[in-house]
Structures are given as C-alpha cells and as structure tokens.
Structure 1
Amino acid sequence: MTENVISVENLTKSFGGRTVVDHLTMSVKKGAIHGFLGPNGSGKTTTIRMLCGLLTPDSGSGTCLGYDITREGERLRRHVGYMTQRFSLYQDLTIRENLDFVARIHGLSNPRQKVSDAIERLGLGGREKQLAGNLSGGWKQRLALGACTLPGPDLLLLDEPTAGVDPKARREFWTEIHALAADGLSVLVSTHYMDEAERCHEIAYMAYGKLVVTGTVDDVVAASRLHSYLITGPDVHQLQTALELTEGVDLVAPFGASLHVCGHDEAALERAVEPYRARARTKISRSEATLEDAFIHLMNASKDNFDDG
C-alpha cells in the first residue's frame, strides 16, 4: 500500500461565523504531485495553512509527514517547503543573499556550496547579484522555489505558485516540479490552470469549503458523467444562448470558433443539437468531456458558503 504523506479527516475552520473549510477529508500519496483546485474563496489556502501547522483547525484531525498538524506544527514545518501566493523573500537582497539567508536560518552544512548548487539547478546562474525586487514574475518564482527546496524538505506545499507568470515560465516550473517528484519529493499544489491540473498524478477539487471530488484526471472527468458535442462553423457563438435554454443541455462553453455542448442525458443532448445539423457550414460531432467541463459543472452544482440566499 502506498504511504500517505498527508492524511486528514473532517478538518473544519471558520472565520467570523463563516465556515471556510467544511469537514475536509483527504490524503496525498508519497512521491506524488497532487493538484488542489477550486475557485477563489474555496478554502484552498486555509487548508494548506492548516496542513503545515500555521492555522489550528476548529475541529478534525490529521497528520502531515507523520506529525500531528494540531500539536506538532513547529516540528512539522522543519520538513515542509511552503511557497505562498505572494513573493515573500527580501526584495532589497540579491538572489544569492536571499538564498544564503535561508541556508543560515536552517543551519545547513556547507551553505555556500548548497546555494551555488540551487542557483545552477534552477537556471539562476549569472543573475546571482540581481536584486529580488527587480526580477520578473517568472524569475521570482524560480527564486522562491529555490528557497523552498534549499533545506531539503520532504513535502512541498505550493499555493498558486504560477499565478501571473508567462506560459514558458510555467512550463519550466512544472518541469522542475516533476524532476523533484521523480527524486521522491511529495507535492501539493493549488492552481487555477487546467493544463497544470492535467500534469498532476491526482487532483482534488474544492468548492466553497467542501471537497467535491478527488482522483486522477480521468477519474474526475468520468465521474462528471457528461456527454459532449463539438459545434463548429461561422458565428456559432450566436447559438450559445439558445442552447443554454434547451432541455438536455447542462453546459455550453465557447472554445475559439467552436462551442462545447455538454449534458448528462445522452438522448436529450442529441435532440438538443439535432436542429442545428441543417445549419449552413455548421459541423456537429461527438467529443469527449474535458477536465474544464467537469469543473465548471461541479462549481455550478455547488452552493456558495457566503451566499445568504
């Protein structure tokens, strides 16, 4: 049986009378990259902070790397690399100075060599003397990842680490994450990007404080039980409103010059798209539901925990 590095049960946390995390039960396997998805305000950041002992849950229990998250937070944090949403290193220090500081804080042996190795591994060579505050988002991201991994943690908790960086920097970041996981490092990463979710070994989707679904990408898409059609042709976006009001259609999403039309009832969905087959220069074909389709459906079916209605 694969060992779990994170195992929590019924974690609950409220702020100001609002339940932000609601009886969350989840696990993360050792050596896996586990994606953590959900809309803003769904409780992902609060959960991550509870997992590393920075926040105490109102109720529930769990372990992270074998440490009790409610009683052994200080010991736990020595073995976890936590990358926050906002860049949290010193803006007025250089790349090397920031990493030297992290190495000293953690009391690493041979710190200069380890800092040099991290700079080389992350492609920061030649930039050591640049001030952190002058770096672009992608280079700040690399520096933050270097600081997280420098002490040799057993687990990385990454809170939307690629927000605001360009696609090339995101791809390079994920290449490094997979290399770290291949060396045995376990990773829990929150993201809004579907392409990043598909790079994870397993994913968990959280909506309004509740864990909705977890599993592999294929598991999550299959669990949505959505059937799908792709409609292409000139001005197909003009059909969106009508389709959304048609029985049998649960979801319509534009993709460039196409519409992705989904529904749970296969026969009803076929009847819904049938009238448009005669439309000039319009092509309708069966397609596979995507991860994005599944997540939009899950979000539409979830109740906002800040909705008083």
Structure 2
Amino acid sequence: MLVTKQPVLRKFWYPAIPTTELSNSPNPFELLGEKIVIWLDKAGKPAAVQDRCCHRSAQLSIGKVVDGNICCAYHGWQFNSDGACVCVPQLKDETIPANYKIKSYRCTERYGYVWVCLEEPLIDLPEIDEATKPDYRLLHEFYELWKCAALRVMENEFDLAHPTFVHTTTFGSEEHPIPESMKLTETEWGLHVQGVLGVVNPQLQQQNLKMDTKQTFRTLDMTWFMPFTVKLQITYPNGLTHIIVNTMTPINDSTSQMVQFCVRNDTEADTKSSDVVAFDRAVTLEDKHILETTDYDVPLSVSQEQHMFTDKPGIVMRKKLAALLKAYGEVEQTKSNN
C-alpha cells in the first residue's frame, strides 16, 4: 500500500512537531506527500496551511509570522489560520478578492505535540488516559524520520516473536522465542492484544526497575489505533507501569516520522528520565536497524507474504485497513499498479 495514494488516510490525525518547537517562525512539514507550514496564530494556537502562496507559488515556510499571520517572503502577502489572505501590500486600500486563499488544515495540540488532519477526520485523536492522571508522568522520547512504512512499525510493535532475535542487547530472551500467551480482540477502529513474554533485564533496566533479577516476564497490554498509533502498556512484577505511545506519521510513501513518548507511574526521584529514555532508545534503534531494510510497499493482501501465528495482530491490521479502503471506494495502490 502506498500511503500517499490512499485518500482516506488523510482523514486521520497525525502528530507533526513538538509544541516546544513552535515559536514566532513558520515550520515546514510534509504529511502524506503534502507540503504544509505550521505556526502559532495571534491567539497562540497552532495553525497549518498549504506551504504554497496562491500568488506565485513561493513556499510560505521561508517567510515570517506577522501579527499571527503567515507572511510570504516573495511579495509580503499575509494569510490567517483559515488560509484567507488578509493583507496585500500592493493593493493599499482596495478590497482583497475572496479567491486570494490557500488551503488550510485542522490543527490542535495534544500530549506535547501539534497534530494535523488534512481532511474531515473520521475519528478523534487517540485517547491516552494516563497522560492526564496526576500519579503518572509523561516523558518525551523520540522525534525523527525513519525510512520505512508506518504499517511495518505498527506490526512490529505487536510482533512478540522478534525480541529474541532483534533485541539481543536490551530485553530479548533466547529462552522465550514466542510469547507465553497472546489474546487478541478487535475493536471498531483498532485492535487490543494482551500477552505475556519472557524477557531478560540488562544492568540499566535492572537499575530502572529497582530489581536485581535478570530473568522475568513482561505483562503486555497493547492497543492499536488506526491507522498508525500504538499504545504499549508494560506491567512489571514490582508494580511499575510503563506505557509507550508510538505514532508513525506518514511523511511520504517511503518515509515515516516516529513520535514516541512514555507515561509512567513513578517519579524522577525513583528513576531518572534520562535513564528511562536511554533504555527505550536502545530498544528503538534495534527495531530501526531492521525495519529500514523492509519494503515500504506493505501488501494488505495476506497472500503476498508468508506468516506465522505470532503475525496474527499484523494480519488483522492489514485486513482492517483493506476494509477501510473498500468502505470508501478505494482500491489498494501499490508500486505495481502505479
């Protein structure tokens, strides 16, 4: 499936940039192959429009923000958060024509990121209840480009057979190449999986968990939010809950942006944020090393790749995405039919 060729994917919310990166300057971004620009409007709210002036097509992202409006660097035309042109210096006191307008997009803030939806959204942003609870803390972890398909990462998060071979320096156990248990439940807009996996705890993780045992089991509660967000809740024997939220924002067909943060029911005094991020970073880099070698054109038809029983969550994802395309009258677009 080529994500830029499937219009229905434009109807979902995706995190674009951290809110901390928004200032008085415009920020260029690419979402599903669409060039957009993000900035803070006069009310201090994030705004997103097409990164192309309707006058002579100059990129608005190389311009500046003036009184909360995006100002084109070429001739000084200004546009508000709705995409309407509100200032044309060359017109002086004349009325600005109504067709002096650019495409605008829905834009909001959640979990420390600016989220953008290119068209009327089918569903709301993923709900991460723990992110707002007082006994949990939210840690921002990664925000970077990966040269792979978003769907590959989603499947990988639910793949309980790969840790033995991929996560050899972090938590993978040679004694547990498959999960002890795995229960799958489909939801209207996603998937829920509960599992138990035998793992090892290297020294840094033992320090983070305040445990002196190397061999242990992870109780996993995983939720997939269509199309490319996963919530992975790990419960440890000592009562710690570590929730990883990962969204792969589709930049274009071959590139995705990983946005990952975690939510934990402990404090900085219990475990340093830097140590938490360091361990999760090591795990993530092991995944990245493998996933960037995979084909970004992920087939939704299960007959085009071989599978085993631990691939069932990924198979469900493919079938649900195929059903979504069919419901909106779309045919799966691939490299072979483009």
Q: Same fold (TM over 0.5)?
A: no
More helix by share: 1
More strand by share: 2
User: Structure 1-normalised TM-score?
Assistant: 0.29
User: Structure 2-normalised TM-score?
Assistant: 0.27
